[in-house]
Structure 1
Amino acid sequence: MISTQDYHGLLDAANLKRIGKALAVLDAINSPELEYRYYTYNAVWGENEEVLEVSDGEGDQMLILFRPEGCVINGYLDGYDQPDKTQVTRGLPEYFDDFIFGEPVNSIGTTFCLWYTAAHGWQTGLVKNEDDGSEELLFMLDGNPETYAEWADEYYGEETDRSPMDVAAVAKIYQGETLTKATVLGIVDEVADWAQLEEDLQAIGYPYDFG
């Protein structure tokens, strides 16, 4: 399980960005209403900056900033003690400072932090508490489409009679393939508003061709 204790399963920044966009696309397909999505992606967060947001709607939240230099992950889990932020970010490159020490991260809180640069790979600061809950938010970043399919079938299908999603369709999105209507209908049985989905894909910055 990926955590601050063992983060070797994390992809490099470029591939993590690809998976982050895929997760947001999949959630946009699964949940037309933005407020109920677990994963969202902002391709125009700032100049040369993009952000994946993970939120369970119950207080747990993770933000991942992507910049040309790499990426940084800020995680907050409700109910966990917040460590000394200067310690868990020890060694953090300065170009991530505005994000990690600014808003909205500062108001959200920080229970764990990791970052990636091409020169040094994944790193974290001083982690004194092994039980920081990081695996609860990082598990989906393993790059395995089956991980998402299993989670989403339960999360979105628990109280509905929808069909289990096609893992092959999930894999196509994980690979960054241009989204087609056929692939979308491998994820859900029907789409009520294709125009809304197109808007979501444009915001994420994901290619599509609905004919």
Structure 2
Amino acid sequence: MISTKNFTSLPNRNSLQSICKAISVLDAIICPEWEYRYYSYNSKWGEGEEYCEMRYGSGDLMNILFLENNCVINGFAHEFQHNQKSDLTKNLPEIYNDFIFGEPVASFGTTFCLWTNQTGNWETGIIEDYNDNSEELLSVFDNTPQTYIDWATEYFEDSYKETGIPLETVTKIYQGQILTKEMVLSIVDEIEDWQLLEDDLKEIDYEYDFK
């Protein structure tokens, strides 16, 4: 399992970005109400910056910043505040400072942090206590569509078709295939506001064709 103790299987920056977009597309389909989603993605976060957020009502959060060739992950698990942020961000490259030490991350808090270095490999700061819940929060990034299905089946309960969330469709979205109405309607029985979904897909920057 991926964690701050074992992050060798954490996907590289580009693959992680693709996964973040895919799970945000799936959340947008299953849960039209943005405030109740778990994953969301903003491809227009800032100039040369894209942003993925995971938020959970219990207070756990994950914030991911994608720069052109770099990436940083900030995690906050409210019941696992065992390490100092100054240690967790030890040797953090300066390009991430505004994000990690600015808002909204500064107010959210940090219980784990990972970033890509100049060679594209993942790094962490100093971690005294690996009991940081990173394994649970990072588990969706194993690049396995079934992992998302298993999680969403429990989290969203009856928001999808009675037959369940289809692996074939989720796999296509993970692969970045153009989203069609048929694919959407294989997940949910209906979409009340197709324009709202289109707006979400534009924000995510995910290609679709609903003609």
Interval containing the TM-score (normalised by the shorter chain): over 0.9
Residue 204 of structure 1 aligns to which amino acid in structure 2?
Answer: I
Q: Deviations over 1:126-173 (max 9, x none)?
A: 111010111121011111000001111111125887330111100111
Q: Distance in 1 between matches of 2:74 and 2:167?
A: 29
Aligned residues: 211
Which 5+ residue runs of structure 2 have no aligned equivalent? none
Q: TM-score, normalised by structure 1?
A: 0.96
8 Å CA contact retained: 1:82, 1:109: no
Alpha-carbon shift at residue 61 of structure 1 (Å): 0.3
Residue 4 of structure 2 aligns to which amino acid in structure 1?
Answer: T
8 Å CA contact retained: 1:82, 1:110: no
Q: Distance in 2 between matches of 1:159 and 1:167?
A: 16
Q: Distance in 2 between matches of 1:63 and 1:4?
A: 15
8 Å CA contact retained: 1:163, 1:189: no
Distance 1:172 1:138, change over 3 A: same
Q: Distance in 2 between matches of 1:53 and 1:120?
A: 21
Q: TM-score, normalised by structure 2?
A: 0.96
Quote the residue 2:205 is aligned against: 205
Alpha-carbon shift at residue 120 of structure 1 (Å): 4.7
Identity of aligned residues (%): 50
8 Å CA contact retained: 2:43, 2:203: yes
Q: Which moved more, 1:172-181 or 1:185-194?
A: 185-194
1:74-93 matches, within 5 Å, as 74-93=74-93
Which 5+ residue runs of structure 1 have no aligned equivalent? none
Quote the residue 2:100 is aligned against: 100
Residue 37 of structure 1 aligns to which amino acid in structure 2?
Answer: R
Aligned Cα RMSD in Å? 1.5
Secondary structure of the structure 2 residue equivalent to 1:157: coil
Q: Distance in 2 between matches of 1:56 and 1:49?
A: 23
